[in-house]
Each structure stands twice: as structure tokens, then as C-alpha cells.
Structure 1
Amino acid sequence: MTVKDIDNIILDLDGTVYVDNKIINKSDIEIRRLAKKGKSIYYLTNNTSKNTKHYIRKLNNLNLPVSTNSIISPIHVMIDWIKKNNIKCVYILGVQELIDELKEKTGVANSSKNPELIIVAFDKELTYQKLETACELINNGVPYYLTHIDIFCPTLKGNMPDCGAIGMLIEKTTGKKSINNFGKPSDLMTDYINKIVDKDHNKIVVGDRIHTDIELGKKIGAETVLVCTGEYQNSKNDNLKINNTQIYNTLTDYLLTI
């Protein structure tokens, strides 16, 4: 298979397509070109501090081709999982727009009174009271899940704490590990992607993180490309070898080969 044969292009967002609201190296131009050529473009993010409507607005504002079906995040995996497991009540450490989307799409209640489980997300509205409530529930035996395992989120101001960091705080405090997570590269995310991305056509995953983007790509049988614009920095990882993964300085550098 050559790069010209790729039909499904699955792109990480933060640190790959953009940082904050700044497009990296004119990647938008190449993404639009490939969409016009009939390539299926998917945006795969672990970021749960924003909901699906936010991403549609943001990508539209950045002049990127986008639809509801082209965005994949742990939120969509959670919606699918909550419905499948008939979950009625959870306690969520997350922003209000995440809570609202889960309620709208699944009917699940967000309450600290007898929740079936706790969901720990990338909560930019986090308070000590939320943490205290979650830890009390966990100490009393309520299981918890992370939306994703990323320790930090890249921003123009530098790296900022993400869901994985919040999860580490809770684990250190309670002595209890999360049951699972809904993001890259979990089996829950893998199963979800395999349901919505055409299995009969070639696909590639492009991202800046080895332990999430590249591992996820390998688990779904995709070609993988690592870019040096986010967590992975080529100059800092000269001795690191990633088997069967191409490395490019930027997403644009890779997309120009298709």
C-alpha cells in the first residue's frame, strides 16, 4: 500500500492540527485539499473539556471540513457505553457542556447520591468540593473511570494539567485505580472506531503522542504517522525508535505526500 491508497485519514487535534486556536504550519490547506479529493477525514481527540458542538464550531471557524460524524472523542464512546450498559446515574467531574451532552444523548443523571460510577474528565471547572465528593464516593466503593489518560494538554502558554493528572491525584489520595478509560488508546475507544470507520478501506492515524495516538493506530490496524509538533519532539527523542511508524516534522509535511 502506498500513501496514495489511503482512504481514511484520522487526525489528532491538539498538538497535531493546531495548538489552542492556532493552525500548525498551514495544515488546514492540505486537509481541505484531501477532503476535496474524496478522502474521509476524521478528527480524533481525547480532549473532554469541550463538547461536540464546540468542536464543530471551532473547526468551522478554522475553515476545516467537518461534520458531526467526523468528530471522535471519548464523549462519543461514553454515550455508546452508557446506553449499552443501561447506566442511569453517574457523578461527573467535568465541565457543564460535557454533562449536558451526556444528559441530552443518554438521559443519564449527574448526581452524588447513589451513583453507579464516577466519570473523571478534563475538568476546567474543577473545584476542591468536586474532588472531595468524588474521593468520598470512591472511598465508599464507587468505581471510577477516566475519560482519557493524557497527563497534560499542550497550549500556547505551555503544558497544562489534563484528565490523567486529575486521575493521578485521585488515585494517590484514595489508593484506588480507575477501572478503565474511554479515550485513546483504550479498548473501548478501539471498538468504537472500528464500528464507525470503514474497515474495508485503508486508514492512517496521525498524532503527536506515542502512547495514545500511535498505540491506538496500531490497535485498529492503521498505518501510523508521528509528528513533532506536540508531545513528541524529535530532537528530544533521538534514541527512541518507533517500529513501523513514519515520523514527520509537521502534519502538513506528511499530507503533502498524499
Structure 2
Amino acid sequence: MASIGFLLDLEGTLVKDKSYTPIPEALEFTKLLDEKKTPWIVATNNSTEKPYELVKILRSKGFNVDENKLLSPSLLACDYLRKNNVKSIYFLGTDKIKEFFEEEGFEVRDDHNVDAVVVGRDKEITYQKLKIATSALVLNDAKLFSFHKNRVIRDVDGLVGPSVGAVATALSYAGNKSFTSFGKPSKEYFERAFELLGLSDPKKIYMVSDDPFTDLAEGKKNVNFQTVFVLSGKYEDSSILNKIEKDLRPDYTFSHIGECSRLLEGENGNA
């Protein structure tokens, strides 16, 4: 049985952005993991692509992935919704994910008469969309779900914008109700990830991400795994870690994912 395993964030860690261009040394590192028979999966909060389409994209970029080596909120969303007796939803997000929900048997409506509001990444979000979502929460007592809790996302133009978690938090405040997240850092998400790795001891599992807040700090709080912060994505300066409680700061900080090879060699990173 493998002694350690890796959960690898996607955007900002393995690839640059929505262009899915591999970050330098990302392909080499994943190939090294395969050579050493060290289990790894892509643990992403991607809310724009259907899971099987994302696998195709990553394979076209050179990553050795299949549907057993990728975990996205889309794969958990349907289970969550069915358990909560949700049949109709108002969805903020891409047409691809809207189609995914329809393929899974959910009614995706354009008005507020729904069982739930689901927040994904919607780059064409408008006040009208937010008004319909808020009306569903306030007037129809709809439940509120979010693909994840990420605060910000770095776009292809290099600028940083509000991510899914920021929009969900705004709707939560407006609707005066809490929201449930499908993705990282939920305990359910990481437990499913551990199953895919075939490992159960969190101290043997490294979460590598460019998001020190959602993926790493909150993830560590929920499942107590090893955390690795990379400076190749949202944040290029490690001083951002000063905003995190000391006991939840990353165990390691590296410039990029390629430096994670030190963990395989037993070397120490810059904790």
C-alpha cells in the first residue's frame, strides 16, 4: 500500500487558469508520482466544466488523468441535492453545468419558483440574476447551495475577481440563510478524495494548492491533512499567510508544484 498521497488543486497549481495551460514542472511532477506509484488525484473546485469534459481537456494537455483521478463539486452536487429532496433549481453558472444538472434529472428554471439556488461560476452575472436568486430564497424559502467557498479567482487577464464563495456569501446575507458547499473544504469532499486515493490517515496526505484560506487552512481544520502552499496562482507573496491563524498556516510553502518533489525525497520545504 502507498505510504503517502497527493491532492492536487487545479487552477493556480497544476494549470495557470481557464486556458488550462500546465504550470512549469506540473506535468513532470505528476509523471514522477506515477513512476513512484504514489497515488494522486486532481482535487478541484472547478464549476465551469462537466467532469468528463474536464478529464478530456487535462488529457489533451498531457496529464495522465481519468474519471477516477479527478474530483469536482459537480460529482458531489447531485447527491447533495437529492438528499435534500431538491427537484428544481435556479442556477448561477455556465451552460455546460446547467446541461449537466438537466442530464442528471433536475429541472433548471429561469424564475424564483424553485426548491434551491445553486451558485457556480457565472462570468455574466447581473443584478437581475441576483434578484431572482434572492427572491427564491426570501419568497420561496429555497435552499442555498454553492459549488465551493473560494473567495477570489485569478482570471486569464491576470486580474483577481470575486469567486463562487463570495457570491454565495452575498446571497446568504441577502436571504438570511446559510449555504452548503459541495466542494473544498467540506469534510464530505475530502472524505471522498481520501477514498479515491485509497488512504485514510490524513497525516499521510498532502493537499497542494494556491489557496491558503479555503483549501489549506479550512481543509486542515476539517480533516487535519498536510498542507502545501504554492505561489504560482492567486498569491505571489507568502506574506498573505500572516492573515491566517498560526496553527492553520501551511506546513510547506513552495514557488511551484515542481518543488513538491522534495516531499518525496524526504527533504523539508519552507514551512
Q: TM-score, normalised by structure 1?
A: 0.85
After superposition, give the CA deviation of every residue in 1:130-154 in whole Å (9 maximum; x if it has no partner): 2221121112122212211112212
Check the 8 A contact 2:40/2:197 in 1, yes or no. Answer: no
The answer on 1:109 being equivalent to 2:110 is no
Match of 1:9 among 6, 9, 27: 6
SS in 2 for 1:59: helix
Match of 2:207 among 198, 205, 208: 205
1:142 and 1:134, CA in 2 relative to 1: closer, same or farther beyond 3 A?
A: same
Choose between structure 1 and 2 for higher RCO, CA contacts under 8 A separated by at least 6 residues: 1
Identity %: 26
SS in 2 for 1:34: helix
The CA deviation at 1:186 is 1.9
The CA deviation at 1:163 is 1.0
Given residue 193 of structure 1, which amino acid in structure 2 is its aligned partner?
A
Give runs of aligned pairs for residues 107-186 of structure 1, distance below 5 A: 107-111=105-109, 112=111, 114-140=113-139, 141-157=141-157, 158-172=159-173, 174-186=174-186
1:246 and 1:182, CA in 2 relative to 1: closer, same or farther beyond 3 A?
A: same
Query: Could you tell me which residue of structure 2 aligns to residue 251 of structure 1?
Result: 257
After superposition, give the CA deviation of every residue in 1:172-215 in whole Å (9 maximum; x if it has no partner): 5x252432211211234234334444234632211112222213
Query: Could you tell me which residue of structure 1 aligns to residue 268 of structure 2?
Result: none
The CA deviation at 1:221 is 4.0
117-126 or 194-203: which moved more? 194-203
Check the 8 A contact 1:154/1:231 in 2, yes or no. Answer: yes
1:217 and 1:63, CA in 2 relative to 1: closer, same or farther beyond 3 A?
A: farther
Structure 1 stretches of 4+ with a deviation exceeding 6 A read none
Instruction: Give RMSD over aligned pairs.
Output: 2.5
- Counterpart CA distance in 2 for 1:177 and 1:81 is 17
1:176 and 1:85, CA in 2 relative to 1: closer, same or farther beyond 3 A?
A: closer
1:29 and 1:143, CA in 2 relative to 1: closer, same or farther beyond 3 A?
A: same
